């Protein structure tokens, strides 16, 4: 999309639609200049209470006298209740509505934002930040996944004109992050017959278009040499070759931060097979890996001054004559042995080897893993929050701050020492599943044993990676969660890097 910042008057801008944001119960002289030109239409819909400015309310006006073909009024809710999230949602509602109308050029007035004194506790950076959140939600809402549809929808919005005199609005940055979110959403939405481990590795390699990103793919034989017995066991049931994807982005100095993303391109449960109902959803079991690819893509495009390594172990989890089985004992890359109780607890196995590999080759400053790891995550938190656990409270506080800023909310769960007992095995160092009780936490506890003393955070996105229903700026399907959260977290690590 072509995004321009123009210091043009509302009535003069040429566009298919002119968006006018309004707080709740607007004064009847709001947008008085335009109102006068178009014969009082704005005052009319306000006086008749057709439009009250309630949050996310939309009213479309066809008007003569101005250069824009239409006016779209969008409610921001009460001024005192304005938050970044309310702005994102309103932006999402307005942009997707305009797109669905068939508009190509959209202009947004920032007049109301300019006269707002509302300060966000967590907002930093440019003045007029309000419009940046509005545009962020707007752009995120435009996502569509239609590569398998016969009829293409309309072309979509081509140009966004932000009516403002501040050329320094960080809209390029927003666009960069949004396109990384869309990249992740596309990978997750693509069904597993096309999004194989090989296809995911090809997508990862495409990131090397940016010369600052190096991509290395470890083939099955390489991971055998490394002794990744846990990862390889999961891969054994599938005819698709597994790909252990490693990305490096060097933007800074010192030990890297390692991001690890679970990429089970399809999780049938393996021999511990899942019920048929809803199994088609298990194509999204690679949302963590996709988020990591999105974060690296965005971090490199923004030139963030950090050293990053992304590790994305990719494989399918299928039952077959060669599949691993309950009762098997595996040896992970760090030497720990694991008794398999359920082949459906496969995510922690591939993550264990990824963490082991990270510690062996990178001596990381910290490790963050992101994974659709447990059904219990959505039982506990529904679709509203990422479950976070880790061994470093300071680092977790930083992720919490990023989560408040982005509204990709995290909620911390405990990792008490007592959970260790849940994973005690009679034959091996650990078992891979500790039963139903506390299974969100025991999954994380399992990973903690592999992280050792390295600062580490686990993010379970099983409840948040997929939307059953359209939300104002996240359409049904893959959400791309984790990309905005982690990019914002990384920005927080480098205050100069905004």
In the complex with ligand BES, the residue whose CB is nearer, 157 or 282, is: 282
Q: Shortest gap between Cβ of 236 and ligand BES (angstroms)?
A: 16
Q: Shortest gap between Cβ of 141 and ligand BES (angstroms)?
A: 24
Q: Shortest gap between Cβ of 374 and ligand BES (angstroms)?
A: 4
Using the structure block, give the residue that is written with the tokens 């109902």.
277
- Please state, in angstroms and rounded to a whole number, the distance separating the CA atoms of residues 486 and 157: 28
| DSSP bridge partners of 5 | 162
Q: CA dihedral in degrees (20, 26, 27, 32; nearest 10)?
A: 10
Q: Can residue 285 be called a binding residue for Zn ion (CB under 5 A)?
A: yes
Would you tell me which residues interact with ligand BES (CB under 6 A)? 267, 285, 342, 344-347, 372-376, 433, 439, 462
How many residues bind Zn ion (CB under 5 A)? The answer is 4
**Distances in Å between the alpha carbon of 374 and those of 269, 285, 463?**
12, 10, 9
Q: Shortest gap between Cβ of 343 and Mn ion (angstroms)?
A: 8
In the complex with ligand BES, the residue whose CB is nearer, 74 or 415, is: 415
- Please state, in angstroms and rounded to a whole number, the distance separating the CA atoms of residues 476 and 464: 12
Neighbour tally for 2: CB within 10 Å: 9
DSSP 275: P
DSSP 448: H
Q: Can residue 460 be called a binding residue for Mn ion (CB under 5 A)?
A: no
- Burial (CB count <10 Å: 0-12, 13-18, 19+), residue 259: buried
**Secondary structure element (H or E) that encloses residue 75, with its range:** strand 70-75
451, 392 contact by CB (below 8 A) = no
Q: Decide which of Mn ion, ligand BES, Zn ion, none touches 481; Cβ closer than 5 to 8 Å per partner kind.
A: none
Neighbour tally for 192: CB within 10 Å: 22
In the complex with Zn ion, the residue whose CB is nearer, 220 or 267, is: 267
Which segment (1-9, 53-61, 340-348, 419-427) binds Mn ion by CB under 5 A? 340-348
* Strand 307-317 to 263-267 pairing: parallel
- Please state, in angstroms and rounded to a whole number, the distance separating the CA atoms of residues 332 and 89: 44
| DSSP bridge partners of 255 | none
Q: Shortest gap between Cβ of 432 and ligand BES (angstroms)?
A: 8
In the complex with ligand BES, the residue whose CB is nearer, 169 or 433, is: 433
Q: Decide which of Mn ion, ligand BES, Zn ion, none touches 433; Cβ closer than 5 to 8 Å per partner kind.
A: ligand BES
| 348 counts as catalytic | yes
In the complex with ligand BES, the residue whose CB is nearer, 188 or 298, is: 188
Q: At what angle do helices 287-302 and 197-206 cross, to 10 degrees?
A: 10
| 49 counts as catalytic | no
Q: Which of 10, 11, 220, 267 binds Zn ion (CB under 5 A)?
A: 267
In the complex with ligand BES, the residue whose CB is nearer, 376 or 487, is: 376
- Please state, in angstroms and rounded to a whole number, the distance separating the CA atoms of residues 64 and 70: 9
Q: Which of 347, 455, 463, 480 binds Zn ion (CB under 5 A)?
A: 347
Q: Shortest gap between Cβ of 269 and Mn ion (angstroms)?
A: 5
Q: At what angle do helices 171-189 and 483-493 cross, to 10 degrees?
A: 140
- Please state, in angstroms and rounded to a whole number, the distance separating the CA atoms of residues 228 and 331: 7
Q: Decide which of Zn ion, Mn ion, ligand BES, none touches 374; Cβ closer than 5 to 8 Å per partner kind.
A: ligand BES
In the complex with ligand BES, the residue whose CB is nearer, 111 or 195, is: 195
Q: Shortest gap between Cβ of 347 and Mn ion (angstroms)?
A: 6
Tell me which of 78, 250, 274, 420 is the catalytic residue.
274
Tell me which of 348, 431, 448, 484 is the catalytic residue.
348
DSSP 306: -
- Burial (CB count <10 Å: 0-12, 13-18, 19+), residue 65: exposed
- Please state, in angstroms and rounded to a whole number, the distance separating the CA atoms of residues 443 and 477: 25
| 83-122: contacts with Mn ion (CB under 5 A) | none
Q: Decide which of ligand BES, Mn ion, Zn ion, none touches 375; Cβ closer than 5 to 8 Å per partner kind.
A: ligand BES
How many residues bind Mn ion (CB under 5 A)? The answer is 3
Which segment (222-230, 323-331, 343-351, 416-424) binds Mn ion by CB under 5 A? 343-351
In the complex with ligand BES, the residue whose CB is nearer, 373 or 444, is: 373
Q: Can residue 267 be called a binding residue for Mn ion (CB under 5 A)?
A: yes
- Please state, in angstroms and rounded to a whole number, the distance separating the CA atoms of residues 250 and 159: 34
Q: Decide which of Zn ion, Mn ion, ligand BES, none touches 460; Cβ closer than 5 to 8 Å per partner kind.
A: none
Q: Shortest gap between Cβ of 308 and Mn ion (angstroms)?
A: 27
Q: Decide which of Mn ion, ligand BES, Zn ion, none touches 107; Cβ closer than 5 to 8 Å per partner kind.
A: none
330, 425 contact by CB (below 8 A) = no
Residues near Mn ion (CB under 5 A): 267, 344, 346
Q: Could you give the residue numbers annotated as active site?
A: 274, 348
């Amino acid at each position: 999309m072509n995004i321009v910042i123009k210091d043009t008057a509302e009535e003069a801008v040429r566009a298919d639609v002119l968006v006018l944001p309004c707080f709740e119960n607007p004064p009847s002289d709001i947008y008085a200049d335009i109102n006068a030109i178009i014969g009082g239409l704005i005052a009319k819909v306000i006086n008749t209470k057709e439009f009250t400015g309630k949050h996310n309310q939309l009213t479309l006006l066809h008007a003569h006298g101005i250069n824009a073909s239409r006016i779209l009024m969008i409610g921001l809710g009460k001024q005192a209740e304005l938050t970044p999230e309310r702005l994102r949602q309103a932006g999402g509602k307005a942009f997707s509505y305009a797109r669905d109308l068939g508009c190509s050029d959209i202009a947004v007035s920032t007049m109301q934002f300019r006269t707002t004194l509302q300060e966000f506790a967590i907002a930093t950076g440019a003045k007029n930040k309000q419009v940046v959140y509005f545009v962020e939600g707007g752009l995120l809402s435009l996502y569509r996944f239609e590569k398998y549809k016969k009829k293409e929808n309309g072309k979509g919005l081509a140009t966004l004109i932000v009516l403002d005199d501040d050329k320094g609005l960080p809209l390029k940055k927003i666009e960069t992050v949004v396109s990384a979110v869309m990249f992740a959403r596309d990978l997750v939405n693509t069904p597993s017959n096309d999004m194989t481990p090989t296809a995911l590795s090809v997508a990862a390699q495409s990131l090397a278009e940016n010369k600052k990103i190096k991509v290395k793919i470890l083939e099955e034989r390489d991971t055998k040499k490394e002794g990744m017995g846990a990862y390889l066991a999961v891969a054994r049931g599938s005819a698709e070759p597994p790909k252990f994807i490693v990305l490096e982005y060097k933007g800074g100095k010192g030990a890297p931060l390692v991001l690890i993303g679970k990429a089970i391109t399809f999780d049938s449960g393996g021999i511990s097979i899942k019920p048929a109902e809803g199994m088609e959803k298990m194509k999204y079991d690679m949302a963590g890996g996709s988020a990591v690819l999105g974060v690296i893509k965005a971090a490199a495009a923004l030139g963030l001054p950090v050293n990053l390594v992304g590790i994305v172990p990719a494989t399918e989890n299928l039952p077959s004559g060669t599949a691993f089985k309950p009762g098997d004992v595996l040896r992970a890359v760090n030497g720990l042995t694991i008794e398999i109780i359920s082949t459906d607890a496969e995510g922690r196995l591939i993550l264990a080897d990824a963490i082991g590999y990270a510690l062996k080759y990178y001596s990381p400053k910290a490790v963050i893993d992101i994974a659709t790891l447990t059904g219990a995550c959505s039982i506990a938190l529904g679709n509203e929050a990422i479950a976070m656990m880790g061994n470093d409270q300071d680092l977790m506080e930083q992720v919490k701050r990023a989560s408040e800023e982005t509204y990709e909310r995290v909620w911390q769960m405990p990792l008490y020492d007592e959970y260790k007992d849940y994973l005690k095995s009679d034959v091996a160092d650990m078992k891979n599943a500790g039963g139903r009780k506390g299974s969100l936490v025991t999954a994380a506890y399992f990973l903690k044993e592999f992280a050792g003393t390295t600062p580490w955070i686990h993010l379970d996105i099983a409840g948040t990676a997929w939307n059953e229903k359209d939300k104002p700026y996240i359409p049904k399907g893959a959400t791309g969660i984790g990309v905005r959260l982690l990019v914002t977290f990384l920005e927080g690590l480098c205050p100069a890097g905004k």
